[in-house]
Every structure is written in C-alpha cells, then in structure tokens.
Chain A
Amino acid sequence: MSSTASTQTGQKAQSLTLVEAIQDGLYTEMAQDDSVVVLGEDVGKNGGVFRATDQLYEEFGEDRVIDTPLAEAGIVGASIGLAQTGMKPVPEMQFMGFMYPAFDQIVSHAARLRSRSQGQYSVPMVIRAPYGGGIRAPEHHSESKEAFFVHEPGLKVVSPSTPYDAKGLLAASIHDPDPVIFLEPKLIYRAFREDVPTKPYEVSLSEAAVRRDGSDISVYTWGAMTRPALIAAENLSQSHGIDTEVIDLRTLSPLDTETITDSFKKTGRAAIVHEAPKTGGLGAEIATTIQEEALVHQEAPIKRIAGFDAPMPLHSLEDYYLPQAVRIQDGIRETVEF
C-alpha cells in the first residue's frame, strides 16, 4: 500500500491516517529487520479487521505475517517463545476486550521473565491492540483497560494520538528490549491525516508531549481523548479566556513524571481526561503523583473527567459515557473557577 508506493516514488513524507501510519510503521520495521514478525487473528490475508496489517502478507509472506488459530493465550505465549529465539514478535490482539485469555501470559510471564531470570532472559515483544469507544461497536469492542497493564511492573504501555506519533512510537516500541502493550485508539484510526516521514524514526517512550501551551490549567490525557481535550481548550480560550495546557502522555507506563509536574508547577490546576472507568483509572495515579511532587503549587482540587464506574454501554449511550468536549469544558471551568 502506502509504503510500497512511497518507496517507489521517493517521497519524503506521506499524508496518512493513524491506522495507515501503524501499517507504514510495521512495513518500515519489517523491511529493515527480518526478525520482526506479525502474528494474530486475521492479520494475514485479511490484512487485519481494521486493515492495520494491510498488504504486509503480500509483501513479507506467510512466515512473517502469520494468521493464527483463534487463541489469544496461544498467540501471546507463542510470541514469548519466539522472542527467546531472537525474533521480535508483534502480536495483534483483535480488540482490547478480547485480550483477557492472554492476561496470564502477559502479566505472569512477558512482564516478569526478565526479573525472574535476573536479566538472563527478556521478552522484546510489542502487543498491539485497538482500544476505546465511540465507533458504535458491539459489547466488548469498546473497552479502555489500560490501567490493568499500567499496574503490572515490567510492561511498558503506549498509546499514540497522532499518525506521526503512531509510527514513531511503534518503531521505538519494536526497538525496545522490553514488552510493550501498544494501545491504538480506534476511534481516531481514520479521523484525520498528517504528514508522516517515509524514513524510519522513533518517538521516545519516555516523553509526554505538550500539545498546547497554557498557563491556567493543565489537562492530562492520551489516545482518542486528546482531540476533545484540545477542542475544549480552544473553545474555552475563545469563550472564557481560559488558557489551557494540554499534555498528551503518549507513554502511560512508565509515566513521564517530569513533564507532568513541570506543567502543574506552572498552572497550579489540573484535570485528567480518560475513557476508562474513574475508579482505579490512571487518572488517580497522575493526581497522586502531582500531589507527591508539587503539592505546594496546588490551587484547586484535581478534576477527573472519566468514564463511569460501570460497563461500557452499547452504542446508543456511549456518547454519554465517554468524556465529550462539553464535559471536559465544564470540568476545566469548575477547576479554574474554584
């Protein structure tokens, strides 16, 4: 698809959607490193249910782009084994809501083989999974359960919010010596395009991005929620003169504490936006980190704008469940006007 075309035409950048940037990132890494293999359900001939692995099967063949039986524990367990032979597996979990059969393999082994073997063995592997709501999908297809994985030491957890970052973070994840859970916000898979360099590049797994500079309040978010947060910031700037800083965490574990606290020290106010249920969500960790590191700068309670402590509803109610710009604006105002 895109990569083949751009290589042929010698373009330096292409305008890609987020899902195309993932495909381009996989293509780029596979082209330069024979040890990278993609495996999962429907990733081969079908090119992935979201087309994230489109054309890879045709380009790299069935030994590197592997349609597996329908078995998530098998896919991840086998990937851990493959990784012991010097290969770099990039297994796909079709939806985050279907990852749970692989949970034991991920938390008991992928996350711990390094520490268990005292550094002798490791699991360089990237588990890709589309996550999040907003696409009118059936039950189990809209979950945001990043906190499960953030809670597990030994895993890195990454979620891009732009096409450029998607390719760069994926490259950094594949090059990383430790297992990475790479969560793809499927709501914005095709929402917008951005110039993405054709050449290989990395976006660091240890740096959050400041998406909008501001002085009144810091909004912390990631993935698909970055856009409504930016819309809310823009709206409030025009309607109320509130100057909002928006931080896109990009890597959810380990957290970039420095960027988080530096922003807060500047604004003294914070709101955290995530799709996942509020209780035990990553917002709690961010709020506590801020209080540990920068309490003396705090001027208002830290606001969490999150999903409900309830299962994700079916699509007719998902707009109420997910943090919309209107909820984010309300939360920002409440915090600024405290």
Chain B
Amino acid sequence: MNMKNEAGSKDVPAAVREDSDIVQILDAEGDVLPQASVPDISDRQLLELYETIKLARHFDQRAISFQRQGRLATYAPMTGQEGSQVATSLALAEQDWLFPTYREHAAKYAHGMDLASLFEPLRGHREGYAIPEGVNVMPEYIPIATQVPQAMGMAWGHKLQGKTDTAVLCHLGDGATSEGDFHEGLNFAGVFDVPAVFVCNNNQWAISVPRERQTASETIAEKAQAYGIDGVRVDGLDPLAVYKVASEALEKARNPGPGELRPTLIESVQYRFGAHTTADDPSVYRDESEEEVWRDRDPVDRIETYLYNEGILDSDLESEIQDRIEQEVSEAIETAEQTETSPDNIVEHVYEDVPARLEQQRDELNRLREKYDDGAFSEVLE
C-alpha cells in the first residue's frame, strides 16, 4: 500500500519529505499524483468528506472567536488536522468505536456526536460529555496517552467475545508516544492481536516541544516494529490518502490475512496550524515561516481542488455547502448557549447512586444557596 513521495519537491515540508515511505494521493495542489490509486469512494461520500471537513474548519474558527469573546473556556484548535480527523472517522463502520483526545472535535462529530454537545464542555457544562445511545464514541481523553491501553482493552474485549467485526480506532498525538501508556497499550495490542487501529496525529508540536525532541526515532510509524505490528506513514493533510490508509487498516483489524496481525499504528503526518490551545502562544517557540510551508498543503484546499477537477463540485454547490455548514454551526452554538446546568450536577453520576454522605453535602450546599444569594458564590475568589 505504500508508495514513494516525490522526493525533493521543495514545497514538501521536511517531515513529509523524509525518505521513508509515506502514503500520498493528492499533491500539494490537490491534483492526483502519478501512480496514485484513488480509493473507491462514491461521489456522495466524497462530498460528505468535503462538507464535514469544511464544517470542521468553520467550527474551529467560530470556537476560537467565541473563546476570545469570553463565551467559551480554553479550546484546543484543530485547523490543519480536520482532514485527517474526518477521513479516519468516515472510514469507520457504525459499530466501530472511537477514542478521541481533546482535539478530535471533528472526528467525534463525523462518528455521530451532536455538534452542540461539543460546545457544551467549553461552556463548563459536563452534560455535553454524555454520549448518546448508539454513538460509539468515548468521552475525550485529556491525560496524555491514557486512552491507548483502554482502546486496546476494548478491542480485546470484542475479540474475546467473538465480535471482530467491531474495530476500535484510537487517536493520540506525537507527544503521547513518549508516555509509558503508549508503549504498554501497543505492546498489549501486539501480544493479544486485537482489532485496533492507533492513529498518531503527528502535528509536529507537543505544545512547544518539536517532534524531533520528542523521540530520536526517525519516524513515529517505525515504533510499530518494536511491537511486532504494522506501522504506516500517511500524509495527514491529504484526506484521500488518510481515508485509504485508515480503511485498509480497519479492514485488516477485522479480517487479517494469513500471517498478518490485526493492529496497525498509523502516523498521520500533519501540522498544528494554530496554537496548542487558546491559552498558548506559538510565536514564543516557533517561526511563522514554518507554518507557511505547511499552509500550502492545506487539506481543505486540496480536497476542494480534487473535487473541482473531478467535476463533482462547482461553485454553486460550494456556496450551497458553505451556507449549510454555517447554519449548522450557528444552530449548534445557539443550542449550546441555551443549555443550563445545576449545582446538583456536582454530586450526580459520581456513583450510580448518590451516597448518603455526599447527599448530606448536597443538602448543605442547597441550604447555603437558599440562605445566601447565588451571586455570593460567584464572588471572585482572588
């Protein structure tokens, strides 16, 4: 499935240009590379891929702007990474499970999460973390790499129960590959040969620490070798290539060929165009010129050009799609801004039933809320 990238093309960033194999289908402009085989995707699916990526970009811009207005708390932007997020999720079957980190907003949406619910935790409401029945998405993982052994465990559970038609796709970042949990999870995945696909979204930066300081390995994909499983590098800003690689890895997880192990580590080579979170200022630790090089390979532009080239998209359809996504995001924001939470939520869902001792603490809080004005609780502590 691997093919060589056009070696030495000067618009290809160093991390993509490394001489190891990397899967690419579209060039920087969005034209199909010679010898590339475009995955078998219907026009309808291609448009869904495009529209969801466009929606993710718009969601990101609105979220950042709302955070700046003080209407949302800290947000982890995903611009530059939506193509890979959406492509991996669209490669999933409905029954497959998704393990997202705090940056995989688009991946969650593309696997069935409601858009409004993605805004709610950013407004400080835990209710948005509740996953609707039938949507196979775990709540986001913030402690780094902790999802890796858990994703392995879920895939293992499916396998032990004979449900290998269900695969698990686990996201992680380049920084996560330094944590012990990454090693332990992938080691178990190999030893117990579970139907799991691990997608390392290598966006080159773990806050301020560049990829080359995270590991002395030349690539992240090569770490798979140590666990006896397949490692694949893909151009993470090429949605078609990511879709192809993810689909093949998921198929292998379900139906491995003779002598093949089920798990795969995919290194999706990307770039974090924005800040780590809205609390971060990348100008302190990296050059803007670096960002510009990657901007030339923007996944939104590439998939758009491809669809125009193929005659699947025209300007009328493009503006229709643009209107639709803007409306969908606006409606989601409106819904999220109307949701209320209650202090009772503090004690709820800690256990299946609220223990008597905690019930007492809730009563005490409610006594104080009745005695004093609710505003007394929002006095600034400092």
Contacts and interface: CB of A to CB of B under 8 A. Distances in A.
B143 A97 contact: yes
Interface residues of A, number: 54
Interface stretch (B87-95, B251-259, B369-377): B369-377
Contacts, number: 141
Contacts of B209: 41-42, 67-70
A74 B125 contact: no
Contacts of A68: 209
Contact of A187 (B355, B357, B362, B381): B381
Interface stretch (A5-13, A166-174, A175-183, A319-327): A319-327
Interface in A55-90: 67-74
Given A138-B73, A309-B358, A326-B376, A42 B124 contact: no
A320 B213 contact: no
A318 B317 CA distance: 46
Interface string A112-149: 00000000000000000000001011111100000000
A324 B369 CA distance: 12
A138 B74 contact: yes
Contacts of A141: 142
A324 B368 CA distance: 11
B346 A70 contact: no
Given A227-B381, A310-B346, A310-B350, A327 B368 contact: yes
Interface stretch (A44-52, A205-213, A254-262): A44-52
Nearest to A225: B381
A330 interface: yes
B73 A46 contact: no
B74 A98 contact: no
- With most chain A CB atoms within 10 A of its CB, the pick from B74, B125, B208, B355 is B208
- Majority SS of interface residues in chain A? loop
Contacts of A310: 346-347, 350, 358, 361
A23 B213 CA distance: 24
A308 interface: yes
Given A42-B208, A70-B206, A313-B126, A326 B358 contact: no
Contacts of A325: 379
A137 B278 CA distance: 11
B341 interface: yes
Nearest to B358: A309
A313 B345 contact: yes
Contact of B376 (A46, A97, A140, A324): A324
- With most chain B CB atoms within 10 A of its CB, the pick from A44, A100, A309, A325 is A309
Contact of A317 (B279, B343, B368): B343
Interface in B300-357: 341, 343, 345-347, 350, 355, 357
A316 interface: yes
16 contacts: A41-B207, A45-B284, A49-B207, A67-B208, A67-B209, A67-B213, A69-B175, A101-B180, A187-B381, A188-B382, A224-B381, A227-B382, A313-B126, A316-B125, A320-B343, A325-B379
Interface of B: 73-74, 102, 121, 123-126, 142-144, 175-176, 178-181, 206-209, 213-215, 279-280, 284-285, 341, 343, 345-347, 350, 355, 357-358, 361-362, 365, 368-369, 371-372, 376-379, 381-382
Which 7 pairs of residues, A with B, have the shortest CB-CB distance? Answer: A316-B124, A46-B208, A191-B382, A70-B175, A69-B178, A315-B124, A326-B376
